[in-house]
């Protein structure tokens, strides 16, 4: 019994539940991330092998994490999927603790390709952020001094796989929360499509008659 209690205490020391990485899906269910070393409650540390989070459904998916860079080399990397017929409308920074600015990178695919010099030119988004950016959309924010690359912010993103990499730029711990908003893509009704097609046919016939 004493050994069991000691084992539980040791596990509680190794794992701090307040520092868990948590993904809250639109239906309110929590998804427990698992890193490449099969450690629960922790996103993968490598941008080459991100944690696989599956599809983000329509609505708000909240991603909360902790970067423990003061005590260990800790980074968060994860991949998610946007299904056909939907779009990633925004990624809102809810909050970020810490005194320094932190790195957020996003790119297409199930992993990220990042050059050794960390210039971020190959990524869709490569941006430094802090709590002063709370409420900002990381897909549209464009502060030149905080951009790692010269690529314009992409805005909303269509169906496909995307990977995110979050890390600290200094020896500091910080917590963050981001809301990934997914919405349905508007599809024209059949009547509207028929009107567009018929309109195109009429224009084409008029052009032919003028040429003749």
By DSSP bridging, strand 160-168 and strand 76-82 are antiparallel
Specify if 123 maps to a domain.
yes
CB-count burial class (<10 Å; 0-12, 13-18, 19+) for 120? buried
CATH at residue 178: 2.60.120.380
**What confidence score (pLDDT) does residue 122 get?**
75
pLDDT of residue 117: 57
- pLDDT value of position 191: 59
List all residues 6 or more positions away from 51 whose beta carbon is below 8 Å from its beta carbon: 33, 34, 35, 36, 43, 44, 77, 78, 79
Residue 150 resides in a domain: yes
In a domain, residue 51? The reply is yes
Whether 10 maps to a domain, the answer reads: no
The pTM (predicted TM-score) of the whole model is 0.77
Assigned domain for 7 exists: no
pLDDT at site 5: 33
Contact (Cβ atoms closer than 8 angstroms) between residue 47 and residue 75: yes
Distance CA(109)–CA(116), nearest Å, equals: 19
Q: The domain containing residue 47 runs over which residues?
A: 18-211
Tell me whether residue 12 is in a domain: no
Q: Which residues of the chain have pLDDT under 50?
A: 1-18, 36, 38, 193, 197, 201-205
Q: Which letter does DSSP use for residue 131 in this model? A: G
Q: What secondary structure does DSSP assign to 29-88, as a single string?
A: -EE--B-TT--BT--BS-TTS-EEEEE--SEEEEEEEEEETTTS---EEEEEEE-TTEEE
Q: Is residue 6 part of a domain?
A: no
Instruction: Please tell me the total count of domains within the chain.
Output: 1
User: From edge to edge, which strands make up the β-sheet containing 59-68?
Assistant: 30-31, 22-24, 59-68, 173-184, 86-96
What is the separation, in whole angstroms, between the first and last Cα of the chain? 98
Q: Say if 3 falls within a structural domain.
A: no
What pLDDT score was predicted for residue 60?
96
Give pLDDT tens digits for 86-114: 999 999 999 999 888 899 999 999 988 76
């Amino acid at each position: 019994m004493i050994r069991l209690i000691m084992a539980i205490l040791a596990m509680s020391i190794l794992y701090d539940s307040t520092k868990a990485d948590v993904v809250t899906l639109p239906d309110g269910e929590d998804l427990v991330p698992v890193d490449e070393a099969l450690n629960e409650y922790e996103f993968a540390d490598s941008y080459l092998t991100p944690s696989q989070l599956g599809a983000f459904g329509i609505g708000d998916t909240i991603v909360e994490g902790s970067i423990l860079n003061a005590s260990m080399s800790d980074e968060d990397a994860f991949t998610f999927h946007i299904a056909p017929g939907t779009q990633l409308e925004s990624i809102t920074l809810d909050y970020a603790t810490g005194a320094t600015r932190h790195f957020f990178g996003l790119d297409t695919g199930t992993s990220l390709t990042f050059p050794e010099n960390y210039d971020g030119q190959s990524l869709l988004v490569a941006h430094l952020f802090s709590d002063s950016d709370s409420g900002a959309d990381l897909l549209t924010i464009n502060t030149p001094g905080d951009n790692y690359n010269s690529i314009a912010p992409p805005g909303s993103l269509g169906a496909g796989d995307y990977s995110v990499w979050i890390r600290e730029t200094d020896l500091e711990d910080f917590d963050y929360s981001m809301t990934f908003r997914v919405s349905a893509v508007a599809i024209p009704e059949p009547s509207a499509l028929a009107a567009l097609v018929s309109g195109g046919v009429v224009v084409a016939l008029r052009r032919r008659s003028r040429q003749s």
